Amino acid sequence: MDEIAKIIIGDQTYSYPVIEGTEREKAIDIRRLRSDTGYITYDDGFGNTGSCISDITFIDGETGILRYRGIPIEELAEHADFLSVAHLVIYGELPDRDGYYEWIKNIRQRAPLHTGLMKMFESYPPNAHPMAVLSSMLNSMGCYYPQMTSNNREHDLEHFEDAAALLISKVRTIAALTYRSEMGMPFVYPRTDLRYTENFLHMMFSQPYNRYEPTEAVVDALDLFLVLHADHEQNCSTSTVRMVASGGANLFASVSAGVGALWGPLHGGANTAVVRMLESIHERGDDGSRYIEAAKRGEERLMGFGHRVYKNYDPRAKILGNAVRRVLRELDQNDPLLNIAQRLEEAALSDDYFISRKLYPNVDFYSGLLLKAIGIPVEMFTVMFAIGRMPGWIANWKEVAAAEKGRIYRPRQIYNGPVKRTMLKS
CB of 277 to ligand CMC, least distance (A): 10
**Considering the rule CB under 6 A, would residue 308 count as an interface residue with ligand CMC?**
yes
CB of 196 to ligand CMC, least distance (A): 22
Residue type at 222 in one-letter notation: L
Ranges within 356-375 binding ligand CMC (CB under 6 A): 357, 359, 362-364
CB of 232 to ligand CMC, least distance (A): 6
Question: For residue 30, which of 22, 364, 43, 178 has the smallest C-alpha distance?
Answer: 43
* Pick 108 or 229: Cβ nearer ligand CMC: 229
Q: Among 266, 355, 402, 408, which residue sits at the site for ligand CMC (rule: CB under 6 A)? A: 266
As a whole number of Å, the CA-based R_g of the chain is 23
* Pick 190 or 388: Cβ nearer ligand CMC: 388
Q: Among 95, 130, 190, 304, which residue sits at the site for ligand CMC (rule: CB under 6 A)? A: 304
* Pick 153 or 301: Cβ nearer ligand CMC: 301
**Considering the rule CB under 6 A, would residue 267 count as an interface residue with ligand CMC?**
yes
CB of 268 to ligand CMC, least distance (A): 5
**Considering the rule CB under 6 A, would residue 295 count as an interface residue with ligand CMC?**
yes
**Catalytic residue chosen out of the listed positions 87, 229, 232, 307:** 307
Distance of CA 194 to the CA centre of its chain: 25
- Interface segment toward ligand CMC; rule CB under 6 A; list 32-40, 196-204, 355-363, 401-409: 355-363
275, 378 in Cβ contact below 8 A? Answer: yes
CB of 155 to ligand CMC, least distance (A): 33
The 216-255 contact track toward ligand CMC, x by CB under 6 A, reads: -------------------x--------------------
Q: Which residue is nearest to ligand CMC (CB)?
A: 306
**CA separation for the pair 262, 241 (Å, rounded):** 10
**Considering the rule CB under 6 A, would residue 301 count as an interface residue with ligand CMC?**
yes
CB of 292 to ligand CMC, least distance (A): 9
* Pick 53 or 355: Cβ nearer ligand CMC: 355
202, 212 in Cβ contact below 8 A? Answer: yes
**Catalytic residue chosen out of the listed positions 220, 231, 314, 364:** 364
* Pick 295 or 371: Cβ nearer ligand CMC: 295
**CA separation for the pair 253, 148 (Å, rounded):** 11
Ranges within 155-184 binding ligand CMC (CB under 6 A): none
**Considering the rule CB under 6 A, would residue 45 count as an interface residue with ligand CMC?**
yes
* Pick 206 or 235: Cβ nearer ligand CMC: 235
CB of 217 to ligand CMC, least distance (A): 25
- Interface segment toward ligand CMC; rule CB under 6 A; list 122-130, 148-156, 181-189, 294-302: 294-302
* Pick 191 or 308: Cβ nearer ligand CMC: 308
Q: Specify whether 307 is catalytic.
A: yes
Burial of 75 (0-12, 13-18, 19+ CB in 10 A): exposed
User: Which residues make up the interface to ligand CMC (CB under 6 A)?
Assistant: 45, 235, 266-268, 270, 295, 301-308, 357, 359, 362-364
Question: Which residues are known catalytic residues?
Answer: 307, 364
